[in-house]
Amino acid sequence: MNTITQRTERDRATRAAENGGLPTLGFESVTPYDEYVGTAALHRLQRTVTDAPEELTFLVTTQVMELYFGLLRTEWRLAQRQLDDDDAGAALATIRRTVLHFEALNAAWGPLGRLTPAQFNRFRDALGEASGFQSAAYRHVEFLLGLKSGTLIRPHRRNPAAYGELVEALSRPSLYDSVLAFLARSGYAVPREVTERDYTDEYRPSPEVEAVWVEVCRGPLEPLAEALADLAERFSDWRYRHLMAVRRSMGAKPGSGGSSGLAWLERSMRRDVFPEIWSARTLM
């Protein structure tokens, strides 16, 4: 339970004067920072299973990515609500913020992208069948980007909370669906079969939607198109860095989770998000 006592601007000015401008050094219990951030709980989560020095880097980086997946999920849901309220300005700000989240996510591949096969092999066997493919939060991110697949939620059937969230996400509109519905309400000629389709199916590109984006990019909503292009590009960067990290650390060996490994990631990269955002540029 959070027991942090709130402080006003006046409270902070008074404390700074009492301290002579120095930080407060005495507290009755743990520091407010530790309590707010939950540092003790966070640092207890790093439970390595080998003595390999590289494993801690692998584990911490993976946990950081999981936190960002959850953040993206929350942000894109917010953007969808803002679009549903026809608040394009607020949705644009939210989407742009998530582009910056990807800057941190992509940078996290740095240390993992330098693992040699010898270093990875020191702890890989100890991971058993654990695989990033099994991340429910990442799967939710893909669903929100429109990369839907009902078969990919099956690994989570024994986890009722995660499974329920993925079932719901599978049947709900993606962020792109919410954008297209907003454009339709704004007077753009988005076909009804696009806005009223079965959302459990993966999105299929439409020539009519392509024409809509050509029109959008010539008008006041162009910043929305560019923000989505930035987001798609950063997500593509993340997948590419993942692919290269795997190629560097294990080559074309089978994946830990039962997939073909590198070949599986290469197939996944061919699934585009926001496809007409890109194809429409050929027509401009």
Q: Which own/partner pairs from 51-54 qualify as long-range (CB within 8 Å, at least 24 positions apart)?
A: 52/119, 52/122, 52/123, 54/115, 54/119, 54/120, 54/122, 54/123
In sequence order, the 6+-apart residues with CB closer than 8 A to the CB of 138 are: 65, 66, 69, 132
CB 240 within 8 A of CB 102: no
Q: How far is CA 4 from the centre of its chain?
A: 30
124 carries a ligand binding annotation: yes
Report how far apart, in Å, the C-alpha atoms of 26 and of each of 29, 31, 32, 34, 39 are: 9, 9, 11, 14, 18
DSSP letters along 265-278, please? Answer: HHHHHTS-SSHHHH
Identity of residue 133 = F
Distance CA 141, CA 70 (A): 8
Q: How far is CA 208 from the centre of its chain?
A: 29
Report the C-alpha dihedral over residues 196, 136, 70, 250, rounded to 10 degrees.
-120
Distance CA 4, CA 34 (A): 10
242 carries a ligand binding annotation: yes
Known binding site for heme: residues?
Answer: 242
Residues annotated in the binding site, as ranges?
A: 124, 242
Residue numbering of the annotated binding site for substrate: 124
